[in-house]
Amino acid sequence: MTIHSQPVTARLSEPALDQLFRHARTHNGFKADPIPDEDLQEIYDLVKWGPTTSNSQPLRILFLRSQAAKERLAPALSQGNRAKTMAAPVCALLAYDLKFYEHLPRTFAHNQEAKSWFEGQPALIEATALRNSSIQGGYFIMAARALGYDCGPMSGFDNAKVDAEFFPESHVKSNFLCNLGKGDWSKVMPRNPRFTFDEACEIL
């Protein structure tokens, strides 16, 4: 992939904005169409370009596609999320690496002191990892939508159970889940209202 030194930045088309934002929905059901490995890789290959603090990139993803993998997840899911997650082509488990700072000499190579900013500071490490993996999780949703997939992000699960099952005695912790596939629009609920600009924003 070639990255131009001075890329042209232009407004996306209205259909593209519709696909990414205005017409996109949180999906509760998906068609049975499988997602090939190369598409999962392409999603991540878009996500990785998003900015993070000191290029920390704490996001780690487990793509749960097999029935066996989903069965491991099932006991941690809330009752309302269990059936739709088991039926989705893929459930992405988005997590964060609390040892992200150990990679900074490589990922933030122009400042070899960056690792020391986090060493011995667990509160800062946790806040940085959670915040930036959440930002990357937003990129994940946008990347999947850009490639023609629908998403069902959710937080209705027991993080401790997920961590014990998938990351035992590990420095990786779960953040949120996102079902992925081609959405079944017959199961989409009516759209709930959004705050207006004046309700949510202020220009100072």
- Stretches in the chain below the pLDDT threshold 70: 1-5
Ramachandran angles phi, psi of 175, nearest 5°: -110, -70
Ramachandran angles phi, psi of 66, nearest 5°: -75, 155
Ramachandran angles phi, psi of 15, nearest 5°: -60, -35
Query: Cβ–Cβ contacts within 10 Å for residue 64, how many?
Result: 23
In contact, 74 and 93? CB cutoff 8 Å:
no
In angstroms, what is the C-alpha Rg of the chain? Answer: 18
Beta-bridge partner residues of 93: 62, 177
75: Cβ contacts below 8 Å, ≥ 6 apart: 161, 165
Beta-bridge partner residues of 172: 97
pLDDT value, residue 184: 95
Nearest-angstrom CA–CA distance, 83 and 79: 8
Give the chain's domains with CATH numbers: 25-183 (3.40.109.10)
Q: Whose CA is closest to 60, among 99, 105, 88, 86?
A: 99
Nearest-angstrom CA–CA distance, 116 and 113: 6
pLDDT value, residue 41: 98
pLDDT tens per residue across span 115-134: 999 999 999 999 999 999 99
Distance set, CA 102 to CA 110, 119, 184 (Å)? 15, 9, 42
How far is Cα of residue 32 from the mean position of the Cα atoms in its chain?
22
